[in-house]
Amino acid sequence: MKRVLTVTFAAALAAVLCALTTARLPHGTTRAQSAQGLSHRPVEVGEPDLIDHGMNPHRTETGFLTAGGTGSLSPISYHNGQLMQTPTAYVIWYGNWNRGNGTDTPAGQQIVRDFLSSVGGSNYYRVNTTYSAGGYNVSGNVTRSTREAAPGYSHGTSLSDATIQTIVKEAINSGALPADGNGVYFVLTSSDVAESSGFCSRYCGWHTSTSSTQTSNGRLRYSFVGNAARCITSCAAQSVGPNGNAGVDGMISVVAHELEEANTDPDPASGWVDSSGAENADKCAWTFGSRQFTASNGAVYNMTLGSRNYLIQRNLSATDNKCYIDWINRIQ
């Protein structure tokens, strides 16, 4: 039997309090750490810096995840740069995704593929249509490329920010993936791989972009997300996942976060950001909304896309600066 959370007025108050007492500190800490981190990041001249994803506030005492507040947040605004209309997601499977550890597995890869194939056009993802501006029509759709790259451990088991970019360029230059200015290249690492600028300690994922002479718009947009099994208590909201793979199920919310940020702020921060540099998904990070369910294995989930259940953070509407889990039915 599914356990269901429906937020009554009293429960909504409790959720807001939880968001203030439990979620607020990690979220605020992350922004401060992100700002501090800029000084020792390898920033290319004239290039935007990385946008981090925060760490996890974990379950509330109700057994469900932090629902998050329902009010308007500080406004997000458009800064006249490029937006992506319908991004194409490419996956680079770094490391070994055929391990016998129950998480870095072909079945885990399929969870990611199924998510990227089904998130576009969903009631969840269509909130990004509120970011259409500057002649760009953000469609709320996503295309998953069937072309993938699998470079193994071509740069060892500890990667840097610069190496992530190299891995993307090598996947293109080898012919494994096309050079696509409309693409978001996800470097997804198996759980035995470190990202030395702070995966598991400062962030769970990030996205950025670099210039390119190979794409029609002069840009390459890419993202790093590591298997959350490397630090399940930091980078996943729960230690069991709705698809039975806690590490990859945890990655899904981070991939969603980075995808919608890359969609609406592909070249940070020339797209949509608030006055402190937070992008749309940053403002709703680690909040999961008023509609939560419990799967038979005890995992919490908050949406069904295709044939799978997922637990994914909410995303901001640019129309009212509120966080939603379902834009079509206005469920927060």
DSSP character at residue 326 = B
Toward Zn ion, which CB reaches closer, 53 or 291? 53
In whole angstroms, the minimum distance from the beta carbon of 231 to Zn ion comes to: 17
Q: Is 180 in the site for Zn ion (CB under 5 A)?
A: no
Toward Zn ion, which CB reaches closer, 7 or 289? 289
Q: Measure Cα distances from 195 to 125, 145, 225 in Å.
A: 28, 25, 9
Size of the site for Zn ion (CB under 5 A): 4
Toward Zn ion, which CB reaches closer, 225 or 303? 225
Residue nearest to Zn ion (CB): 282
In whole angstroms, the minimum distance from the beta carbon of 257 to Zn ion comes to: 5
Toward Zn ion, which CB reaches closer, 60 or 223? 223
Q: Token pair of 166, please?
A: 């190299």
Rounded to whole angstroms, the Cα distance separating 316 from 148 reads 30
How many beta carbons lie within 10 A of that of residue 152, not counting itself?
10
In whole angstroms, the minimum distance from the beta carbon of 176 to Zn ion comes to: 27
Stretch that binds Zn ion, among 45-53, 185-193, 239-247, 305-313 (CB under 5 A): 45-53
Toward Zn ion, which CB reaches closer, 30 or 88? 30
Whose tokens are 């400062």? That residue is 202
Amino acid symbol at 273:
V
The site string for Zn ion over 272-291 (x = CB under 5 A, - otherwise) reads: ----------x---------
The site string for Zn ion over 222-261 (x = CB under 5 A, - otherwise) reads: ---------------------------------------x
- Dihedral sign for Cα atoms in the order 272, 282, 320, 309: positive
In whole angstroms, the minimum distance from the beta carbon of 225 to Zn ion comes to: 11
Q: 138: closest CA among 263, 259, 262?
A: 263
Q: Token pair of 32, please?
A: 């401060």
Gap between the terminal Cα atoms of the chain: 24
Q: Measure Cα distances from 207 to 186, 266, 269, 279, 291 in Å.
A: 9, 8, 11, 11, 28
In whole angstroms, the minimum distance from the beta carbon of 48 to Zn ion comes to: 13
How many beta carbons lie within 10 A of that of residue 3, not counting itself?
13
Rg of the chain over all Cα atoms, to the nearest angstrom: 18
Stretch that binds Zn ion, among 34-42, 51-59, 87-95, 158-166 (CB under 5 A): 51-59
In whole angstroms, the minimum distance from the beta carbon of 254 to Zn ion comes to: 9
Toward Zn ion, which CB reaches closer, 227 or 263? 263
Q: Token pair of 298, please?
A: 């005890």
**Omega within 30 of 0 (cis) for the link into 236:** no
Stretch that binds Zn ion, among 47-55, 113-121, 150-158, 159-167 (CB under 5 A): 47-55
In whole angstroms, the minimum distance from the beta carbon of 183 to Zn ion comes to: 19
In whole angstroms, the minimum distance from the beta carbon of 106 to Zn ion comes to: 28
Q: Name the site residues for Zn ion (rule: CB under 5 A).
A: 51, 53, 261, 282
